[in-house]
Amino acid sequence: MKILKNIMDFLSKQKYWIIISLIYLSLIYSTSISYSYGPENTIDTSFIKHPLGGSEERNLFKEYYPDFGKYPEAPSLQKTDFWKLGVYGDAGYYLKQSEDFSLSFPPYKYRVLPPFIASVINEITGLHLAYSFVLMNIIFVYLIGIVFTYFCKRCFNFSDSLSLIGGILAITSAGVTKTLPFPMMEPAQYFFFLLALLSLRLKNDRLYILSAILGVLSKELLVFVGILYFANHYSEIKNGPKSLAKVLLLSIIPIIVFMVVRLSLGGPMADVAYSVNLFAGEFPPYGLRLFSIPELLGWLIIFILTFSFIWMGLLNLKQDRFIYLNTAISLPLILIATFFLSGQVTRQIGTLYPLIIISFLFFFNNDQGHET
């Protein structure tokens, strides 16, 4: 009976976290997982002809989706399972990479951690490889909700209810719901970026090192967290040579990981956007949007819709120096990377969710700009 009483006392003290865990798991299902149909399920949908390309010719998806690419000549209503509708892009590469790394293709092959985790889950549980990815993503998104709520409470003195709202906005953001039901990297990428920001706010170097290494192994975009570390610890370099050496060393950890991955996997340092080599003078095809008004307008619309009205939080940036500093650095860097190196605006811009959501929550917080 004493053991039972101790358990009940513990649960009573953790009531807030238990409740928000249940809320977050429910929201993860209702906003993302409920759309994740397996190979045996079908849904009604209409879609237009998609030209067959090199990815289909490399037979990366046929094992999982035998009718990949066989779309009708004109829009029509068809029965198709959800995976065929959603994975003819990046997700197909990640699936095959998880099963056989020798078939990996740049830039996907440089994102080694999530496919490795998914393959381990597949080996342990026997789940379909695609479902192993989804299970991994569920875990990462759940952790995003919990850690982001802690981030709000611990680092910004937000109330329990406001922190809960922040967690809800985080796990239902467009970047999350767009990628969670598929074999994609973003849930891991978003989690490790959040962890990096938490480490910078708390000045926890060990947590920073962990998040920087695992973040770059998940998605090379996070190489810029080293710049954030340098900016957040800039004042320390005045304390002497040892402090300067420490700041510089920790700042270049993401770059070192980036270079090690590229060198070990046989890729050039500037291999981006489907083997476009910047050092060879090649121009990323996505950058051509700069010269097309319709493409540019479409890009801007998707950019705005990524956070919708939550972008208004940018008006509050000066309420907190930490948020201001890291947004001022992260936003332009991710904008440049998204515009020139990626065709997926929502997924890339969505990385900024901790900074944008926190700044938005300042509208409702009476203790703005609290520094830990």
Give me the pLDDT at residue 61, please. Answer: 46
pLDDT tens, position by position, 8-26: 666 667 889 999 999 999 9
Q: How confident is the model at residue 283 (pLDDT cuts 50, 70, 90)?
A: low
pLDDT greater than 50 at residue 77: no
Q: Is the peptide bond before 107 cis (omega within 30 degrees of 0)?
A: yes
**341 compared with 327, residue with greater pLDDT:** 327
- Per DSSP, helices labelled H in the chain are 2-13, 15-31, 54-57, 82-86, 90-99, 113-125, 129-156, 160-171, 174-179, 186-202, 205-218, 225-232, 241-251, 253-264, 293-307, 321-341, 345-349, 353-361
Give me the pLDDT at residue 58, please. Answer: 42
pLDDT greater than 80 at residue 179: yes
pLDDT greater than 50 at residue 85: no
CA angle 250, 194, 277 (to 5 degrees): 65
pLDDT greater than 90 at residue 40: no
Token pair recorded at residue 149: 């709520």
Q: Which residues neighbour 284 within 8 Å (Cβ) at sequence distance 6 or greater?
A: 272, 273, 276, 278, 340, 341
Q: Are 183 and 131 in contact (CB under 8 A)?
A: no
pLDDT greater than 50 at residue 82: no
Mean pLDDT across the chain: 80
Which amino acid is present at 153?
Answer: K
**128 compared with 319, residue with greater pLDDT:** 319
pLDDT tens, position by position, 301-313: 989 999 999 999 9
pLDDT greater than 70 at residue 359: yes
CA angle 162, 165, 169 (to 5 degrees): 140
Ranges of each domain in the chain: 97-364
pLDDT tens, position by position, 202-238: 999 999 999 999 999 999 999 999 999 999 999 998 8
Beta bridge partners of 44: 79
